Copies of this chain bind each other. A is one copy, B any other.
Amino acid sequence: MSFEIPVRVYIEDTDAGGIVFYGNYLKFFERARTDFLRSIGIEQSVTIENNLIFVVRHIAVDYQSPARLDDVLAISCVVKSIRPTRVLFSQSANRANDGMNLVNAEVEVVAVSMDTLKPRVLPDTLRNTLQQTIGTIDV
């Protein structure tokens, strides 16, 4: 399953260099992960109530070309692999009007108990729901 959301670049996202600040793509990627999870029935405010949050453990981000004010970006999110306590996402930011690839990222998140912040095994239903999205990625 290929999931993506549109993100408009507002003045808040830009910096004095006239382009989107490099840290702000991590907001865009997080929005896409959240909306992806919600689209398969996993609501963040619900997992928090169940004492589970996803914490980012590792990211690698390639910045190919900068986005600018008023650009509309397509931010993608797909599950690449699942481990007992972790999920690896592959994400990208493409410019919507011409499809130009701007930024690519791999984001590994770990499930932790919100109170202790210790890793915990993904609940079965959550794991299965994520697993089902892998077999159906559009290529």
Contact = CB atoms under 8 A, between A and B. Distances in A.
A115 to B, nearest CB: 9
29 contacts: A10-B30, A10-B34, A11-B30, A12-B15, A12-B27, A12-B31, A14-B15, A15-B16, A16-B16, A16-B48, A16-B69, A17-B55, A17-B114, A18-B114, A19-B117, A22-B26, A22-B55, A22-B56, A23-B23, A23-B24, A26-B26, A38-B70, A45-B69, A48-B69, A55-B66, A56-B63, A58-B62, A60-B60, A60-B61
A19 B70 CA distance: 18
Interface string A23-66: 11011001100110010000111001000010111111111011
A68 interface: yes
Contacts of A114: 17-18
Nearest to A53: B17
Given A15-B14, A59-B59, A63-B57, A44 B69 contact: yes
Among A10, A55, A57, A60, which residue has the most Cβ atoms of chain B within 10 A? A10
Contacts of A35: 8
